[in-house]
């Protein structure tokens, strides 16, 4: 299957504050310590917007922003900047979207006169981070937002790869999920926030972190687990973090085959080389 | 070079007009709307809705019982019509269960189940009732997971959730996934059901009308929410294929505002141009445009500018929202299948409920049904977050 270059990675999770600071942990050279995430993220959003948006939107945009910065792709916030400047398409993959907003709406619907906030309603759509991303960058390129429950990372990678090949264009995959608030948290356990972004290029540029080949066939093998107990807990405890074995392989800069969780009894095999 | 076309091997629709393609086609021909005054649950909103009858009475049972919620009941009802399940079974024998992808658009999936659960929280602990199953009802993927299990498919499956362009984009994803060799055929679709979140949410934004919606009318004042399920089985077209074909798709982002369409319809125009470019079709060759046409003052005005920019005023176009209401994440597939029916029937549907075209708008909006030979038609779907998708469908004339 056609290869894809990974040009840059963005990452934000407890103890994984950005790609440069996380590589040694992911490569197994340092232990994983789940330190709190930095408070200021998603600086790409104007300050007034950053106050209005939710933790979900900020987390997704932080990972996206970091990957673009690493690839030295300029983000021009002027509206209507258009396709010429930024030709990067996006795929946003998230199991549940913005549970904080969905909780607020469901609470409002139990109250007299049902005071659903118009802002909460428009932020409730699954493609809200994609909308804010395009507004903040001026990018008019196509964008897809999808969910495949716990298999969302693998589904997003499949769609990002298909999009990159079909359009012969760079695609930024952003996978993110956050713990829902109570009472949803009792029915949907996500143990920590996690967002990762991969900038994929169908041109196998020399200036790359890794080369990926997706195997479209069923692997019939169980998904890879991680050696570090803390990282493995994160992988198993957040749908977006199901992509961690791939990030670890990229950080090791070695040739290896990764098997990602892709849903109940389904996996996605990815060959990774430097 | 034009992209390799996909053929619609089978399709089906269920919406306020009834169950199955025949019900939709009959209502389109007769000019009968599915919109009724809103009596959904205890919404108590002064608006009209496009409701599917019978969903309250028919729970999911057996192996798929955990998926039981309004949205998945609607999905099942849709899958049961027009021999769609049998067509997919035949395709499964040809391609293999793991080689048929499932790409289903939805905006709210089964959030109605969560709305109900929040009304039944434990008064002391605040917990949701024990019967509430988040994964199989509310989660965005639930409807795609249900569809794939109901059809016995095991390949790539995901839900696309880009608000009101969701199920139009399912066609684009299917094309890409097939092109990339990730599957050999695809079930695409869209399912969105009535819920208090969308009814009260659109109401909070001041976008719903107290009357049946009137797209492009000088007095238009908002949309009506509808519910629908629609599915299509897609495979690569054969040489001289006389089925309805997906010839092109175009997607774009407005990069403008979360809820307001770009006033010049810049993103919408881009999506239409991309669809034409992929098919290598000139605007003048297109015989009919099914507009997104929600009937809100600003949305219609923006889409009008976009259509005028790409096509000028001559191309016949119409909005079918007056029949079904705005079925949100299911609108894309609903209207793509309407277009497929119209191509087969050589029918241009009018714009139901609209009496006086807004003189400030210039697109060639048709008010009454017209019979005329059709070969190429475009369907537009736009959504919150500035997401746009246009599908170009066509049929070889015999």
Q: With 80 as the cut, is the pLDDT of residue A128 above it?
A: yes
Q: Judge: A127–B267 Cβ closer than 8 Å, yes or no.
A: no
Active site residue B292: yes
Is A197 in a helix, a strand, or coil? strand
Q: Residue B111 — pLDDT band, cuts 50, 70, 90?
A: very high
Q: Judge: A135–B255 Cβ closer than 8 Å, yes or no.
A: yes
Between A38-47, A97-106, B131-140, the lowest mean confidence (pLDDT) is in: A38-47
Tell me whether residue B27 is in a domain: yes
Q: With 50 as the cut, is the pLDDT of residue A152 above it?
A: yes
Residue A175: CATH number of its domain: 3.40.47.10
Q: What is the pLDDT of residue B71?
A: 98
What is the rounded average pLDDT of the residues A152-175? 97
pLDDT per residue as tens digits for the range B52-78: 999 998 899 999 999 999 999 999 999
Tell me whether residue A270 is in a domain: no
Q: Judge: B140–A1 Cβ closer than 8 Å, yes or no.
A: no
CA angle B106, B111, B116 (to 5 degrees): 155
C-alpha to C-alpha distances, A81 to A62, A173, B255, B383, B388, nearest whole angstrom? 20, 21, 9, 21, 17
Give the count of domains, chain B.
1
Q: What is the pLDDT of residue A50?
A: 85
The β-bridge partners of A212 are: A4, A272
Q: Judge: B154–A266 Cβ closer than 8 Å, yes or no.
A: yes
Nearest CA distance, B50 vs chain A (angstrom)? 21
From the list A248, A270, A240, the residue with the least C-alpha distance to A258 is A270
Q: Residue B398 — pLDDT band, cuts 50, 70, 90?
A: low
Q: Judge: A162–B252 Cβ closer than 8 Å, yes or no.
A: no
Tell me whether residue A164 is in a domain: yes
Mean pLDDT of chain B, nearest integer: 97
What is the rounded average pLDDT of the residues A124-139? 95
Q: What is the pLDDT of residue A79?
A: 41
> Active site residue: B136, B138, B326, B342, which one?
B326
Q: Residue A70 — pLDDT band, cuts 50, 70, 90?
A: confident
Q: Pick the residue from chain A with its C-alpha nearest to B390.
A: A142
Q: Judge: B255–A146 Cβ closer than 8 Å, yes or no.
A: no
Tell me whether residue B398 is in a domain: no
What is the rounded average pLDDT of the residues A33-62? 91
Q: Pick the residue from chain A with its C-alpha nearest to B259.
A: A122
CA atoms within 13 A on the CB side of A158: 34
Q: With 90 as the cut, is the pLDDT of residue B368 above it?
A: yes
Tell me whether residue A129 is in a domain: yes
Torsion angle defined by CA atoms of residues A64, A70, A74 and A78, in that order, rounded to the nearest 10 degrees:
30
Tell me whether residue B229 is in a domain: yes
What is the rounded average pLDDT of the residues A46-51? 85
Tell me whether residue A200 is in a domain: yes
The β-bridge partners of B381 are: B389
- Is residue B205 within 8 angstroms of chain A, CB to CB? yes
Tell me whether residue B17 is in a domain: yes
Nearest CA distance, B281 vs chain A (angstrom)? 18
Nearest CA distance, A187 vs chain B (angstrom)? 6
Q: Judge: B181–A118 Cβ closer than 8 Å, yes or no.
A: no
**What percent of chain A is helix, strand and coil (3-state, nearest 5)?**
35, 20, 40
Q: How far apart are the first and last CA of chain A?
A: 17
Question: How many angstroms separate the CA atoms of B45 and B135, rounded?
Answer: 30
Q: What is the pLDDT of residue A74?
A: 57
Query: Any residues with CB less than 8 A from the CB of A168 and at least 6 apart, and which?
Result: A202, A203
Is the pTM value of this prediction over 0.95? Answer: yes
Here the tokens at position B26 are 């009959």
Residue B237: CATH number of its domain: 3.40.47.10
pLDDT per residue as tens digits for the range A81-118: 443 456 899 999 999 999 999 999 999 999 999 999 99
> Active site residue: B11, B164, B183, B195, which one?
B164
Q: Judge: B176–A132 Cβ closer than 8 Å, yes or no.
A: no
> Active site residue: B292, B317, B342, B389, which one?
B292
Q: Pick the residue from chain A with its C-alpha nearest to B104.
A: A146
Q: Judge: A145–B162 Cβ closer than 8 Å, yes or no.
A: yes
Tell me whether residue B159 is in a domain: yes
- Is residue B182 within 8 angstroms of chain A, CB to CB? yes
B-chain CB neighbours of A125 within 8 Å are 107, 161-163, 383-385
Tell me whether residue A135 is in a domain: yes
Task: Provide the ipTM.
Answer: 0.98
Cβ neighbours around B273 below 10 Å, total: 17
Mean pLDDT of chain A, nearest integer: 92
Query: Any residues with CB less than 8 A from the CB of B73 and at least 6 apart, and which?
Result: B55, B58, B59, B60, B193
Active site residue B164: yes
pLDDT per residue as tens digits for the range A205-246: 888 999 999 998 766 789 999 999 999 999 999 999 999 999
Full domain range(s) for residue A37: 4-207
Tell me whether residue A262 is in a domain: no
Q: Residue B354 — pLDDT band, cuts 50, 70, 90?
A: very high
- Which of A134, A151, A186 lies at the smallest CB-CB distance from B386? A134
Nearest CA distance, A23 vs chain B (angstrom)? 30
Q: With 70 as the cut, is the pLDDT of residue A77 above it?
A: no
pLDDT per residue as tens digits for the range B245-279: 999 999 999 999 988 889 999 999 999 999 999 99
Active site residue B69: no
- Which of B98, B157, B255 lies at the smallest CB-CB distance from A148? B157
Q: What is the pLDDT of residue B396?
A: 85
Give the count of domains, chain A.
1
Q: Pick the residue from chain A with its C-alpha nearest to B176.
A: A162
Q: Residue B1 — pLDDT band, cuts 50, 70, 90?
A: confident
From the list B342, B295, B314, the residue with the least C-alpha distance to B28 is B342
Q: Judge: B197–A109 Cβ closer than 8 Å, yes or no.
A: yes
B-chain CB neighbours of A166 within 8 Å are 175-176, 179-180
Question: How many angstroms separate the CA atoms of A226 and A266, rounded?
Answer: 18
What is the rounded average pLDDT of the residues B165-181? 97
Question: How many angstroms separate the CA atoms of B143 and B103, rounded?
Answer: 10
Tell me whether residue B1 is in a domain: no
Question: How many angstroms separate the CA atoms of B281 and B356, rounded?
Answer: 32
B-chain CB neighbours of A76 within 8 Å are none
Q: Please report, rounded to a whole number, the percentage of residues in chain A having pLDDT higher than 70.
A: 94
Full domain range(s) for residue B174: 6-393
Q: What is the pLDDT of residue A86?
A: 66
Q: Residue A41 — pLDDT band, cuts 50, 70, 90?
A: confident
What is the rounded average pLDDT of the residues A187-215? 95
């Amino acid at each position: 299957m056609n290869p894809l270059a990974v040009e840059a990675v963005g990452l934000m999770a407890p103890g994984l504050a950005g790609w440069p600071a996380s590589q040694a942990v992911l490569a197994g050279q340092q232990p994983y310590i789940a330190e709190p995430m930095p408070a200021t993220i998603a600086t790409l959003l104007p300050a007034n917007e950053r106050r209005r948006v939710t933790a979900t939107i900020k987390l997704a945009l932080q990972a996206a922003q970091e990957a673009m910065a690493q690839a030295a792709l300029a983000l021009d916030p002027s509206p209507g900047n258009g396709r010429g400047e930024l030709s990067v398409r996006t795929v946003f993959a998230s199991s549940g979207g913005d549970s904080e907003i969905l909780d607020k709406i469901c609470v409002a619907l139990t109250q007299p006169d049902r005071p659903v906030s118009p802002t909460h309603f428009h932020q409730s759509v699954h493609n809200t981070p994609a909308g804010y991303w395009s507004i903040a960058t001026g990018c008019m390129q196509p964008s897809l937002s999808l969910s495949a429950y716990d298999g969302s990372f693998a589904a997003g990678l499949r769609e990002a790869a298909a999009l990159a090949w079909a359009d012969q264009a760079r695609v930024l995959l952003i996978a993110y999920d956050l713990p829902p608030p109570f009472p949803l948290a009792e029915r949907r356990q996500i143990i920590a926030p996690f967002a990762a972004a991969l900038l994929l290029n169908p041109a196998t540029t020399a200036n790359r972190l890794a080369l990926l080949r997706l195997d479209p066939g069923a692997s019939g093998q169980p998904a890879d687990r991680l050696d570090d107990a803390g990282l493995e807990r994160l992988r198993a405890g957040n749908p977006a973090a199901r992509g961690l074995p791939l990030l670890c392989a990229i950080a090791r800069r070695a040739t290896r085959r990764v098997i990602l969780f892709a849903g109940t009894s389904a996996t996605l095999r990815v060959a990774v080389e430097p | 070079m034009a992209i390799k076309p996909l053929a619609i091997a089978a399709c089906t629709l269920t919406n306020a007009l009834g169950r199955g393609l025949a019900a939709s086609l009959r209502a389109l021909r007769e000019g009968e709307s599915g919109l009724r005054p809103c009596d959904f649950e205890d919404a108590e909103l002064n608006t009209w809705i496009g409701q599917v009858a019978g969903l309250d009475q028919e729970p999911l049972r057996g192996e798929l019982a955990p998926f039981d919620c309004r949205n998945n009941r609607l999905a099942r009802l849709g899958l049961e019509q027009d021999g769609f399940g049998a067509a997919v079974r035949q395709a499964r024998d040809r391609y293999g269960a793991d080689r048929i992808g499932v790409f289903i658009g939805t905006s709210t999936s089964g959030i109605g189940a969560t709305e109900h659960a929040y009304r039944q929280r434990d008064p002391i602990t605040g917990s949701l009732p024990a019967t509430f199953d988040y994964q199989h009802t509310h989660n965005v993927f639930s409807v795609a997971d249900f569809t794939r299990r109901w059809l016995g498919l095991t390949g790539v499956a995901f839900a696309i959730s880009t608000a009101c362009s969701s199920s139009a984009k399912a066609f684009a994803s299917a094309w890409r996934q097939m092109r990339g060799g990730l599957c050999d055929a695809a079930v695409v679709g869209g399912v969105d059901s009535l819920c208090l979140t969308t009814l009260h949410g659109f109401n909070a934004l001041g976008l719903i009308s107290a009357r049946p919606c009137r797209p492009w009318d000088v007095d238009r004042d908002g949309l009506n929410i509808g519910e629908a399920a629609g599915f299509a089985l897609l495979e690569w077209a054969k040489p001289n294929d006389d089925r309805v074909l997906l010839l092109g798709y175009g997607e774009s982002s407005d990069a403008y505002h979360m809820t307001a369409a770009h006033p010049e319809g810049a993103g919408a125009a881009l999506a239409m141009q991309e669809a034409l470019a992929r098919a290598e079709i000139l605007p003048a060759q297109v015989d009919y445009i099914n507009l997104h046409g929600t009937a809100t003052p600003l949305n219609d005005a923006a889409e009008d500018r976009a259509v005028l920019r790409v096509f000028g005023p001559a191309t016949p176009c119409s909005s079918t929202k007056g029949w079904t209401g705005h079925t949100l994440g299911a609108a894309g597939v609903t209207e793509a299948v309407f277009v497929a029916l119209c191509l087969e029937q050589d029918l241009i549907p009018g714009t139901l409920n609209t009496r006086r075209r807004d003189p400030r708008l210039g697109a060639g909006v048709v008010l009454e049904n017209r019979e005329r030979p059709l070969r190429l038609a475009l369907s537009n779907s736009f959504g919150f977050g500035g997401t746009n998708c246009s599908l170009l469908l066509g049929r070889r004339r015999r």
